[in-house]
Structure formats: C-alpha cells, structure tokens
Amino acid sequence: MSGTFVTFEGVDGAGKTTQLRKLAARLRKRGLDVVETREPGGAPGAEEIRRLLVEGAPGRWSAETETLLFTAARRDHMERTVAPALARGAVVLCDRFADSTRAYQAAGRGASRALVDALHELVIGREPDLALILDVDPEAALARGTAREAAKGGGETRFEAFGLDFQRRLRDAFRAIAAAEPQRCALIDASGAETAVAARIDAALARLPALAP
C-alpha cells in the first residue's frame, strides 16, 4: 500500500498552515486517513533540531551548515512520521519540505544547488506526489507572518529577519521550481479570500488519482 504525499510551500506568511488545516478537514470528511505534519519538525528529534534553526540570530549558521541541519531534521521526520504513514496508505499533508531547502538555503542564502540536490538524493530520496506552491506578494506575506509570530509571543523569526529582498528571492525561486517541474508542482495564486485559495488547491489536487473528487 502506498499513500499520497502532498507538500505546502511558499514564502513566510503565504497562508500555508491555514490552507493545510482546511484541506485536512475536507479530506477527513471524505473518510480519508490524513496525517498533518510540518518541517522543520514533525517528529520529536526533528522538533529539537527545529529550535536550532528557527530561533536566534540570522547569521548563526552558514548556508551549508543550515542545509545539513534541515536535511538531518528531514531524515528523522521521514523515518518516524512520513514513511510509516505513507506505508499504511494515508494522505500526508506536510507544511514545507525539500523545495523550501532549494529556495531558502540555495537561492536565498547561497548554498550551492548541487550540494542541496546531492544531499537530498543521498539522504531523503523521495519527492512529494504534489507540491502546492502558494504564491503571494512577499511584502504582504511578511507583514502577516511577523504579526502572527508577535501575537504568539514566539521567537521563531530567524528567517523573517533576513528581510524583504530575501523573501523576494524566495518567491522567484519557488516560481522557478514550479516552472521547471510542472508535473510534481502546482503554482497556486494565494492572494484573495481563503475560500478562493482553497478552491484553487482543490482544482490542483484533481490531478492526483487518490484525491480526485
């Protein structure tokens, strides 16, 4: 048995987390076994690594060290959470995955794309069946993300602190990934009302046999 692996990607504050939760509810209503998870994190060890990555000063890790830490967290998450769920036939909805490393660590921070791709190939070796790339103006998204983080009282602002130009590079990188791999990526216009974005996501999911309405 093999489940369905769907990831949500995009700049900080693009609305991935809200859309993921709503999609999970829609799919559960249809009787599907759905696992909601996130990166970095999604398993106890990976959540410990998460703290090292999302808190603290922007310059605390080099782009290369950061790539290794994200990959270590991803390996743990795959072993403990994603692979077992897919093996039992579940739908796994994951908030960020390898396309975030391609965008943030390679395009954003300047790690070589060859390093990112080689590590992925060697250590992870699996792509999502569909990556939903939520595309939105980074200026509006950054304001939303920072406001939400402040409301939570949280210190998970390390990547937001790289600033607007960084977020613009990320958006371009995500769009380039979607254009280069149209068979496994869907670029979703994430502007406008939540219900409109949800409808665009449903339309994109129709291409996955297991999730087609």
Q: Which is nearer to ligand TYD, 144 or 210 (CB)?
A: 144
Least distance CB 105 / ligand TYD (angstroms): 6
Q: Which is nearer to ligand TYD, 32 or 63 (CB)?
A: 63
> Are residues 149 and 13 in contact, defined by beta-carbon separation less than 8 angstroms?
no
Give the Cα-Cα-Cα angle 112, 130, 123 (nearest 5 degrees): 45
Size of the site for ligand TYD (CB under 6 A): 14
Q: What are 92's two structure tokens?
A: 């796994």
- Using the rule CB under 6 A, give the single segment among 95-103, 113-121, 125-133, 177-185 that binds ligand TYD: 95-103
Q: Which is nearer to ligand TYD, 81 or 100 (CB)?
A: 100
If binding is defined by CB under 6 A, does position 95 make contact with ligand TYD? yes
Q: Which is nearer to ligand TYD, 95 or 129 (CB)?
A: 95
Least distance CB 25 / ligand TYD (angstroms): 19
> Among residues 32, 52, 54, 208, which is the contact residue for ligand TYD, using CB under 6 A?
54
If binding is defined by CB under 6 A, does position 15 make contact with ligand TYD? no
- In the region spanning residues 101 to 120, those forming contacts with ligand TYD, defined by CB under 6 A, are 101, 104-105
> Among residues 5, 61, 70, 166, which is the contact residue for ligand TYD, using CB under 6 A?
70
Least distance CB 137 / ligand TYD (angstroms): 15
Question: How far is it, in rounded angstroms, from Cα 31 to Cα 148?
Answer: 32
- Using the rule CB under 6 A, give the single segment among 18-26, 99-107, 119-127, 130-138 that binds ligand TYD: 99-107
Please report the DSSP string for the chain in residue order.
---EEEEEEESTTSSHHHHHHHHHHHHHHTT--EEEEESS-SSHHHHHHHHHHHSS-GGGS-HHHHHHHHHHHHHHHIIIIIHHHHHTTPEEEEES-HHHIIIIIIIIT---HHHHHHHIIIII----SEEEEEE--HHHHHHHHHHHHHHHT----TTGGG-HHHHHHHHHHHHHHHHH-TTTEEEEE--S-HHHHHHHHHHHHTTSGGG--
Least distance CB 179 / ligand TYD (angstroms): 20
Residues of the shown chain interacting with ligand TYD in the complex, contacts defined by CB under 6 A = 12, 17, 39-40, 54, 70, 95-96, 100-101, 104-105, 145, 159
